[in-house]
Structure 1
Amino acid sequence: MMEIRHATNPVEAKQYTTERLRQEYLIEDLFQPDQIKLVYTHHDRVIVGGAVPVKETLALEVPAELRTDYFLERREVGFIAIGGPTVITIDGEEHLLQHKDGLYVGKGAREVSLRSQDPSQPAKVYFVSTLAHQSYPTAKIALAEANPVHLGSLESSNERTIYQYIHADGVQSCQLMMGMTLLKPNNIWNTMPPHLHDRRMEVYLYFDMDEQARVFHLMGEPQETRHLVVKNEQAVISPSWSIHSGAGTSPYTFIWAMGGENYTFKDMDAVAMEDLK
């Protein structure tokens, strides 16, 4: 069964309590042993998933809500391994992913399964799926091969490297863009100053965090900001009308994924610091 979350709008979101904000935008329990968990958001019809194949091989089966014969009949998907070595099998072909490696799978792949290469080092896989109208070939992306973009500075506590995995100048897709951001030591801020991109939504997964660490994720319209307190391996759904930024109490990494109207990483509208409230 797949959890369904309906789209929200900024006028109503102004009235949300902390509990309601968390219900709408925070995904708290994506990773369960020997299960695949799926969350379908009506923001650009993105599916967010987590898989933890410990003892079992897990098949990515189509939920009844999609009304298709198989999961990728009208979709594409990007996987990133955040646990032990992972074997993802696509229509009989195996792909081995080490920690922080990615795999893109295009529209039309019928059989997708995930397993741990070594059960003593269980796999843990995060994935995001968007609608697709064209097929692109399956492609593995190692972290060392992802396109690095260096941003920020130590003086502003936001020195970081954005690794682009699935994007216009790298592994091709129909609309999915996906990558990972690693902060340099002693930096806490991501995506600050913030931005908007009204033509696409985004999802963040925060991980590589200590049990007691937290990220204070900022969201909402620039003049009506709110926040979510996020723990390790929790994801945040960011609507197209919302900023998406965060500050951590200690080191963290996050995976970002986008889907929607445009297919360019630079399609964003900067928000000036004086406009934040």
Structure 2
Amino acid sequence: MEIRHSVHPSDAKHYDTAQLRNHFLIEKLFEADKVHMVYTHEDRMIIGGAQPAKEALSIEEPDTLKTEFFLERREIGFVNIASGEAIITVDGEKHELGKLDTLYVGKGVREVKLESKDAANPAKLYFCSALAHAAYPTRKLAIADADTRYLGSQLTSNERELNRVLHADGINTCQLMLGITVLKPGSVWNTMPSHVHDRRMEAYLYFDLNDDARVFHMMGEPEETRHLVVANEQAIISPPWSIHSGVGTSNYAFIWSMAGENYTFDDMDTRQASDLK
């Protein structure tokens, strides 16, 4: 498990490109028959990716977490971003996930095994884990059953479908919130006007990009913005003081997840484009 420490905004505005990428960009999450995880001190979220193919994979990290098992004091949400189906076994109970389906697993579960239904067409499981003080039951939500909002327009190049999954009116959790946003063809902007939420951090996974396409992810304080160039299946750690929006060279999808204090989707402080510098 890689460890990333928190960054003060006064320091971040002096970083060069390499330093910004080292602190906030996760470049590699998916590799055949391996689990990759990053532990960020921003609200102590764990961001990870697993690509089971020939063998089942486990979510374990006792040396870093100093607990008997991974979910002893945590909860976790999995999203399958590949066309290949996933099988997740939670304390002996199997759950199948198609593309963009989500599985939530609550605090106290001892064993989680990740598999692909077809090794020739493996699943790719993106996951985020947050601290939890209460236990909630394991639940699956198919993307077709998500709470969907249709936002933006072609005129502003940001027509998109926002699917809320882990939230107060969907799958209940202790504090983890998660959803999936899919941009329509011809749209490239996400989350405009931008915002910050000083009570929560956020993580983004960008995916469904062609190999030669990129997203220019905007970050930083509203009066001190920076950007990161992001390729397919790379993730961003967004601290509470930072805006988080982006523009792509084509349309794309992204998974957003949040952890922190308030458990409400609308806890945010909007920053208009005219406020950004």
Distance 2:124 2:153 in 1: 32
Structure-1 residue corresponding to 2:117: 117
Per-residue CA deviation, residues 156-181 of structure 1 (Å, 9 max, x unaligned), is 11111110010011100000000100
Unpaired segments ≥5 residues, structure 1? none
Structure-2 residue corresponding to 1:9: 8
Q: Does 2:85 match 1:64?
A: no
Per-residue CA deviation, residues 194-246 of structure 1 (Å, 9 max, x unaligned), is 00100000000000010000000000000000000000000000000000000
Per-residue CA deviation, residues 122-144 of structure 1 (Å, 9 max, x unaligned), is 11100000000000000001000
Judge conservation of contact 2:62–2:68 (CA < 8 Å) in 1.
no
Distance 2:60 2:190 in 1: 34
- TM (norm. structure 1) is 0.99
Structure-2 residue corresponding to 1:173: 173
TM-superposed CA distance for 1:38, in Å, is 0.7
* 4+ residue runs over 6 A deviation: none
Structure-2 residue corresponding to 1:82: 81
Judge conservation of contact 2:209–2:251 (CA < 8 Å) in 1.
yes
Judge conservation of contact 2:202–2:259 (CA < 8 Å) in 1.
yes
Distance 2:124 2:137 in 1: 23
Structure-2 residue corresponding to 1:132: 132
RMSD: 0.6
Judge conservation of contact 1:86–1:98 (CA < 8 Å) in 2.
yes
Structure-2 residue corresponding to 1:201: 201
- TM (norm. structure 2) is 0.99
Structure-1 residue corresponding to 2:97: 97
Partner of 2:121, secondary structure, is coil
Partner of 2:153, secondary structure, is coil
Distance 2:185 2:56 in 1: 37
Q: Which moved more, 1:115-124 or 1:55-64?
A: 55-64
Per-residue CA deviation, residues 73-96 of structure 1 (Å, 9 max, x unaligned), is 000000000121000000000000
Matches within 5 A, 1:180-195: 180-195=180-195
TM-superposed CA distance for 1:59, in Å, is 1.1
Q: Which amino acid aligns with 1:41?
A: T
Structure-1 residue corresponding to 2:221: 221
Partner of 1:155, secondary structure, is helix
Distance 2:5 2:193 in 1: 28
Q: Which amino acid aligns with 1:178?
A: L
TM-superposed CA distance for 1:33, in Å, is 1.0
Structure-1 residue corresponding to 2:255: 255
Partner of 1:49, secondary structure, is strand
Q: Which amino acid aligns with 2:218?
A: L
Percent of pairs identical after alignment?
61
Distance 1:272 1:5 in 2: 30
TM-superposed CA distance for 1:153, in Å, is 1.3
Per-residue CA deviation, residues 9-50 of structure 1 (Å, 9 max, x unaligned), is 100001000000000000001111101111000000000010
Distance 2:242 2:150 in 1: 24
Judge conservation of contact 1:217–1:228 (CA < 8 Å) in 2.
yes
Q: Does 2:39 match 1:36?
A: no
TM-superposed CA distance for 1:149, in Å, is 1.2
Distance 1:63 1:119 in 2: 28
Q: Which amino acid aligns with 1:58?
A: L
Judge conservation of contact 1:62–1:69 (CA < 8 Å) in 2.
no
Judge conservation of contact 1:220–1:242 (CA < 8 Å) in 2.
yes
Distance 1:152 1:197 in 2: 21
Q: Which amino acid aligns with 1:276?
A: L
Distance 2:169 2:122 in 1: 32
Partner of 1:220, secondary structure, is strand
Partner of 2:95, secondary structure, is strand
Judge conservation of contact 1:133–1:174 (CA < 8 Å) in 2.
yes
Q: Between Structure 1 and Structure 2, how many residues are aligned?
A: 276
Partner of 2:258, secondary structure, is strand
Partner of 1:11, secondary structure, is helix
Judge conservation of contact 1:194–1:244 (CA < 8 Å) in 2.
yes
